[in-house]
């Protein structure tokens, strides 16, 4: 008979339209409780029952399904923080706290559906974050100017923020699938519009030269930083993480192995992101001269600061008291120098693109450019080389028009002179 219990199945019994079973387990808080499993057939429940028995032998077993909030806390503290970069943890933690938990936090993890995720993302895109996070309400009464006094400032999240929120939930649910808490990742099944990034045209040789010329004539203490950014394509964190031990003036080499990053309330001096980013690079004379000038500037700062000087990690680029430069301050200093130099504004991160574009213009072999830019994959370098210059595009269109039998009209001024 289907309802008869088999050997070792004393805890399996008919339940509603199927069967149920339980196992006595020790919970994470040290208590003994029953943990139940369910299924439509006895063999299905028996298999789940055996699996639960094995889990109970290995260690504590939770008797209740975790909420999204509960799993996110576990994932952030036990998976992300010990294994990923501090900046990644800060990004995931912020997205979870500000965007996911307020709406999806109380839901049971195993009951989360594709529809729940889609409705959450739709609602997030239409919610003023000043209202949701009570930003204006946290200000002093005399400084409140919008949401707290009934005048919504409509501070809606950008497409990029919505994408980051979805990606954070997707990463967390992927771990839940690995740990067999849920059968599938519902966040993977919800698509969000990919935000479009505005392309910024890289500097030409003339623009980059004009910027550096203004910096050196102004005795800018960050002149060497701008030289390294434009000549070697160093990233912001890599520039700020350089130490004097990284420079071999005799051999004319630079060793890149550390970066400086702000992660929450901490400024960290840590290893570079990947092994490919860690490398020796030969230094051209322009870089060596700029670094020698920087060494002299820092020595003058040290003497002026006296006992207030703080020598931290032997950094090359520091404040006038020897402390690390905030990454955000370097970005702002770059923008100020651009305005003073009177050149076209580009973001600091675009200097790396400028280096790549100048290497293309100088016909440097792609494999050499890959070594200079320290790309982990050649496809990244190839993307840089696939961007044609304005001159190449103009010439191609001229050839195309000639192919159609159309030649550009004569210059009117030249025609007048000829007549």
* Claim to verify: residue 295 and residue 160 sit in the same structural domain: no
Structural domain containing residue 308: 205-377
> Confidence class of residue 415 from pLDDT cuts 50, 70 and 90?
very low
* Claim to verify: residue 48 and residue 158 sit in the same structural domain: no
Please give the helix or strand (H or E) that residue 247 lies within, else none: strand 247-248
155 domain-assigned: yes
Does 217 score more than 50 pLDDT? yes
Q: Can you give the pLDDT at residue 275?
A: 56
Write the CB contacts of 302 (distance below 8 Å, at least 6 apart in sequence): 309, 322
258 domain-assigned: yes
Q: Can you give the pLDDT at residue 283?
A: 87
Q: Can you give the pLDDT at residue 300?
A: 93
**For a pLDDT cut of 90, what percent of the chain falls above it?**
43
**For a pLDDT cut of 70, what percent of the chain falls above it?**
81
Q: Could you tell me if 279 and 258 are in contact, meaning their C-beta atoms sit under 8 angstroms apart?
A: no
**What pLDDT, in 10s, does the model give residues 284-318?**
888 999 999 999 999 999 999 999 998 878 899 99
Does 411 score more than 80 pLDDT? no
Does 347 score more than 50 pLDDT? yes
Rounded Cα distance between 177 and 154, Å, is 37
**What pLDDT, in 10s, does the model give residues 16-73?**
889 999 888 887 667 888 888 888 899 999 998 998 888 888 877 777 778 999 999 9
* Claim to verify: residue 213 and residue 338 sit in the same structural domain: yes
> Confidence class of residue 365 from pLDDT cuts 50, 70 and 90?
low
Q: Could you tell me if 234 and 223 are in contact, meaning their C-beta atoms sit under 8 angstroms apart?
A: no
Q: How many domains does the chain have?
A: 3
CATH code assigned at 74: 1.10.150.130
What is each CA distance from 8 to 4, 23, 46, 53, 121, in whole angstroms?
A: 12, 12, 10, 12, 48
**What pLDDT, in 10s, does the model give residues 147-201?**
988 889 999 999 999 999 999 999 999 998 888 778 889 999 999 888 777 778 8
CATH code assigned at 297: 1.10.443.10
* Claim to verify: residue 51 and residue 116 sit in the same structural domain: no
* Claim to verify: residue 338 and residue 370 sit in the same structural domain: yes
Q: How many CA atoms lie within 13 A of 277 on its CB side?
A: 16
Q: Can you give the pLDDT at residue 5?
A: 47
Does 418 score more than 90 pLDDT? no
Helix ranges (DSSP H) in 321-418: 327-341, 351-361, 366-373, 378-385, 390-403, 412-418
Q: Which residue has better confidence, 387 or 140?
A: 140
Q: Can you give the pLDDT at residue 87?
A: 85
* Claim to verify: residue 160 and residue 262 sit in the same structural domain: no
Instruction: Sort strands 32-39 and 258-263 into parallel, antiparallel or unpaired.
Output: unpaired
> Confidence class of residue 408 from pLDDT cuts 50, 70 and 90?
low
395 domain-assigned: no
**What pLDDT, in 10s, does the model give residues 175-186?**
988 887 788 899
Residue-averaged pLDDT of the chain? 83
Does 236 score more than 70 pLDDT? yes
5 domain-assigned: no
Please say which residue of 165, 189, 213 terminates a domain. 189
């Amino acid at each position: 008979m289907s309802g008869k219990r088999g050997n070792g199945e004393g805890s399996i019994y008919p339940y509603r339209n199927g069967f149920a079973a339980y196992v006595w387990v020790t919970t994470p808080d040290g208590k003994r409780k029953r943990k139940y499993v369910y299924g439509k057939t006895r063999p299905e429940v028996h298999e789940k029952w055996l699996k639960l028995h094995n889990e109970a032998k290995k260690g504590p077993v939770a008797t209740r399904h975790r909420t999204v909030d509960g799993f996110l806390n576990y994932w952030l503290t036990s998976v992300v923080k010990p294994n990923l970069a501090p900046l990644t943890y800060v990004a995931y933690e912020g997205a979870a706290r500000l965007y996911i938990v307020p709406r999806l936090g109380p839901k049971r993890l195993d009951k989360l559906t594709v529809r729940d995720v889609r409705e959450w993302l739709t609602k997030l895109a239409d919610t003023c974050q000043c209202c949701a996070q009570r930003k204006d309400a946290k200000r002093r009464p005399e400084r409140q100017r919008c949401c707290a006094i009934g005048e919504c400032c409509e501070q809606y999240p950008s497409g990029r923020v919505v994408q980051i929120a979805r990606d954070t939930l997707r990463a967390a649910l992927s771990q839940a699938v690995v740990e067999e808490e849920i059968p599938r990742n519902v966040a993977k099944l919800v698509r969000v519009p990919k935000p479009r990034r505005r392309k910024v045209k890289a500097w030409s040789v003339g623009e980059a030269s004009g910027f550096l010329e203004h910096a050196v004539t102004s005795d800018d203490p960050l002149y060497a930083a701008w030289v390294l950014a434009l000549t070697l394509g160093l990233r912001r964190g890599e520039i700020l993480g350089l130490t004097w031990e990284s420079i071999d003036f005799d051999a004319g080499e630079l060793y890149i192995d550390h970066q400086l990053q702000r992660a929450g309330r901490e400024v960290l001096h840590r290893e570079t992101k990947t092994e490919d980013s860690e490398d020796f690079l030969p230094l051209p004379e322009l870089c060596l001269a700029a670094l020698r000038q920087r060494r002299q500037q820092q020595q003058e700062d040290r003497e002026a600061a006296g006992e207030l000087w703080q020598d931290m990690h032997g950094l090359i680029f520091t404040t006038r008291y020897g402390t690390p430069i905030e990454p955000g301050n370097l970005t702002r200093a770059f923008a100020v120098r651009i305005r003073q130099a009177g050149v076209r504004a580009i973001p600091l991160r675009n200097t790396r693109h400028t280096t790549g574009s100048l290497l293309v213009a100088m016909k440097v072999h792609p494999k050499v450019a890959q070594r200079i830019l320290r790309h982990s994959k050649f496809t990244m370098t190839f993307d840089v080389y696939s961007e044609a210059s304005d001159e190449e595009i103009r010439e191609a269109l001229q050839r195309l028009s000639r192919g159609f039998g159309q030649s550009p009209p004569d210059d009117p001024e030249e025609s007048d002179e000829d007549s």
